[in-house]
Amino acid sequence: MKKEVNKEQILKSVTKMLADKELVRSYMKGKTSKQSLTSKGIKFAKPL
Amino acid sequence: MQNRYNFVFDDLTNTYNFATKNDVLYRVAFINDETFSTISGEEIPNVFQLIVEKSNDGIEPYDSKVSKTIEDIIERFFNKIENSLIFVCSDENEKAEKRHEIFNRWYKKSKYREIIIKIDNVISVKTEDNTTQKIYTSFMFHKHNSNFQKLLEIYSQFEKMLNDEK
């Protein structure tokens, strides 16, 4: 890896991963707007 | 008769959708995950987070076709060898551990386990009220992924760094 791993950064990244998931789940239930996801930097993919 | 449901990509929601015999609509989403890039400081492409959700909150009777359909989606996802997948278990109703076990059982029974490697990380995180929350994560990649050593190195840092008290 190019840079030294920082514990706080990992914690922040993992927490964001979890938060993103909950926001997308809420979106898929129709409880959150797509704009809310976009504002958090969440990008959908079409890998199939 | 097929042992799974047909799914379609919905351009409006950007999710892969399928409806079950019980009229439950499932949505499967892949979102770009930049965790590996952020942690390593390098651009690590083709890492996605998988999210599966029912569109309604009701309890559905057991339907084996649901897991077969999701398995089919995952199998097709790995047709591109360089793709990798991170799955985080939701702790809704404090059932993250149970979901993690179910996902693990499902993987062990899956026919694609011979080509798709799954590594688990259980990460303990101190929350603001000073309690410890466990985050159950799984990382999956194709055994021929040319980047797998780097991916594993980064993923192992999650657990190593966060579970290290010092």
Cα B103–Cα B108–Cα B114 angle in degrees, nearest 5: 125
Residue of higher predicted confidence among A23 and A18: A23
Tens of pLDDT, residue by residue over B139-159, are 999 999 999 999 999 888 877
Question: Alpha carbon of B109 to those of B20, B89, B102, B106, B160: distances in Å?
Answer: 22, 19, 11, 5, 29
A37 found inside a domain: no
Residue A4 belongs to what domain range? 1-32
Q: Are A3 and B40 a contacting pair at CB < 8 A? A: yes
Per-residue confidence (pLDDT) for residue A5, from 0 to 100 = 63
How many domains does one find in chain A?
1
Boundaries of every domain in chain B: 8-162
Q: Are B90 and A44 a contacting pair at CB < 8 A? A: no
Distance in angstroms (rounded) separating the CA atoms of residues A32 and A6: 32
A7 found inside a domain: yes
Question: Alpha carbon of A23 to those of A10, A19, A36, A43, B29: distances in Å?
Answer: 20, 6, 8, 12, 12
Average of pLDDT values for B41-68?
Answer: 89
- ipTM of the complex in this document: 0.90
Which chain B residues are within 8 Å of A46, Cβ to Cβ?
Answer: 9, 14, 30
Q: Are B57 and A43 a contacting pair at CB < 8 A? A: no
A39 found inside a domain: no
Distance in angstroms (rounded) separating the CA atoms of residues B64 and B106: 11
Distance in angstroms (rounded) separating the CA atoms of residues B122 and B42: 24
Specify the fold of B8-162: Aminopeptidase (3.40.630)
